[in-house]
Amino acid sequence: MTVRAIVRFPDPALRTPCEPVAAFDASLRSLADDLLDTMRAAPGVGITGPHIGILQRVTVIELSRDDGARIYVNPVILSASADMHRYTEGSVSMPGVTEDIERPARIRFRYQTLEGEMREDDATGFLATCIQHEVDQLDGIFWLQRLSRLKRERAIRRWEKMQRA
């Protein structure tokens, strides 16, 4: 297990759609372990392969240490509710910058386990937001793209100012 370097905004890897994982082997388990260690060190509640420059569809989410880490391989959102909710989002690739984003309150999604077993599940609340956020990242959609142009430009200016400081 290793803490890896995190790719920082505006690196092109953060806007590149990821390839599906095909090999469910020891290297995938090692990648998942590294993602978890890197996310905890950041700190964050979610991380994907692209955040460390690996363009594969793997994400790790840990809302709390008590709940434990959830690893999703090749996740896809199947359906989303019409009712929406708003949470503050950010990225381990852009630490210190957050904004409120509105997303569907409930989702149904499909993913594979580290062993390659196909599963479907439902998520609500903050977990639903986190899964949507990380699936966006795996699809090459950085979280800023969910903001209005004005909010996105303000967030980028804040980030650039932080980088100069």
Q: Which residues are catalytic?
A: 134
Q: What would the two tokens of residue 18 be?
A: 């990821």
Using CA atoms, how far residue 117 sits from 44, 62, 120, in Å, is 27, 20, 10
Residue 159: phi and psi, rounded to 5, are -60, -45
3-class SS letters over 34-86: HHHHHHHHCCCCEEEHHHHCCCECEEEECCCCCCCCEEEEEEEEEEECCCEEE
For residue 108, what are its two tokens?
A: 């149904």
Is residue 60 within 8 Å of 8, Cβ to Cβ?
no
